[in-house]
Amino acid sequence: MKEISAVIIEDEQVSRETLFNYLTKYCPSVQVLGMADNIKEGLNLIQQKRPQLVFLDVEMPYGSGFDLLDQIEEIDFEVIFVTAFSQYAIQALNLSAAYYLLKPVDIDELVQAVERVSEQIEQNQLIQSARILKTNLQVEEHRLKRIVLPEMEGFEVAQLKDIVYCKANDNLTDFFFADGKKKTICKTLKHFDQVLGESGFFRAHKSYLINLEHVNGYRKGKGGYAQMANGDEVEIAVRRKPEFLKQFVG
């Protein structure tokens, strides 16, 4: 594995030193060029060292790691976020295909995250998840806008408003879009249910996750069927029917 230049931006000294020691011992390919404990120093460190990878604490005094990214016009590095906080932040990180570690940092998860980022850097295939994350975090009322969909040869960034529904396909998920396009993504429907559940999507059935913005009507039945904007009908599970109807009739 090629050597990767990195910096650590973390306000807690113990966490900062622990992460540095873990990297030194378990991730020898990572060369830590410096550390900072606040946004201002972190920004200066990035500008001076031009690292390939930044370990960035989500919550810091006088702002957050996301605030730091807002001050960088051209993000040309990968980011591994470190967080012990906000479920909303974690949801945004997942939507953006960002790498993140939960505190206290687990060594195996750290090694795995570094390996994945290293592959991206070595192949010159930076997902630029930080850019997409910035967009998602700037949306009013915490309604996230975009999601990264990994594909065999790269990834696609999709607008949530364009997704009509998702359908389970064994360990894959089929995405159906408003323009008639269909894409098969190498992740389970359960994964997308967890990621999209707070962004206007509803698990209508074990096999379906629907965008409530694209529901045009309802046809009665044992569980019934959601009539989607693209003309498709999606089955509603009997146990999900009351919750589904509640979305529209209170």
Q: Identify the pLDDT of residue 216.
A: 94
Q: At 54, is the secondary structure helix, strand, or coil?
A: strand
pTM, to two decimals: 0.57
Task: Yes or no: say if 97 and 148 are a contact pair by the CB < 8 Å rule.
Answer: yes
Mark whether 98 and 20 lie in a shared domain: yes
The CATH number that applies at residue 233 is 2.40.50.1020
Evaluate whether residue 82 is within a structural domain. Answer: yes
Mark whether 192 and 123 lie in a shared domain: no
* CA 57/CA 24 separation, integer angstroms: 19
Evaluate whether residue 130 is within a structural domain. Answer: yes
Q: Identify the pLDDT of residue 23.
A: 97
Q: Identify the pLDDT of residue 149.
A: 85
Q: Percentage of residues in the chain with pLDDT exceeding 90?
A: 50
Mark whether 79 and 177 lie in a shared domain: no
Task: Yes or no: say if 9 and 54 are a contact pair by the CB < 8 Å rule.
Answer: yes
Q: Identify the pLDDT of residue 141.
A: 42
Model confidence at 142: pLDDT above 50: no
Most confident residue range from 98-102, 140-144, 206-210: 206-210
Evaluate whether residue 210 is within a structural domain. Answer: yes
* CA 39/CA 11 separation, integer angstroms: 9
DSSP state letter for 58: S
Mark whether 16 and 133 lie in a shared domain: yes
Per-residue burial over 214-248, b if 16 or more Cβ lie within 10 Å, else e, is bbeebeeeebbbbbbeeebebbbbeebbeebeeee
How many folded domains does the chain comprise?
2
Mark whether 113 and 66 lie in a shared domain: yes
* CA 241/CA 26 separation, integer angstroms: 50
Q: Identify the pLDDT of residue 231.
A: 95
Mark whether 128 and 38 lie in a shared domain: yes
Evaluate whether residue 90 is within a structural domain. Answer: yes
Task: Yes or no: say if 33 and 49 are a contact pair by the CB < 8 Å rule.
Answer: yes
Q: Identify the pLDDT of residue 214.
A: 95
Evaluate whether residue 148 is within a structural domain. Answer: no
Model confidence at 232: pLDDT above 50: yes
Domain that holds residue 232: 161-249
Mark whether 176 and 219 lie in a shared domain: yes
Whole-number average pLDDT of the chain: 85
Mark whether 130 and 49 lie in a shared domain: yes
Mark whether 119 and 184 lie in a shared domain: no
Mark whether 209 and 168 lie in a shared domain: yes
Mean pLDDT along residues 126-152: 62
* CA 57/CA 104 separation, integer angstroms: 12
Residue, of 131 and 220, whose pLDDT is higher: 220
Mark whether 8 and 131 lie in a shared domain: yes
Banded pLDDT at 131 (limits 50, 70, 90): low
pLDDT digits (tens, 9 = 90+) for 38-94: 989 999 999 999 999 999 988 776 677 878 888 887 788 888 988 876 555 666 666
**Residue 101: both structure tokens together:** 């570690």
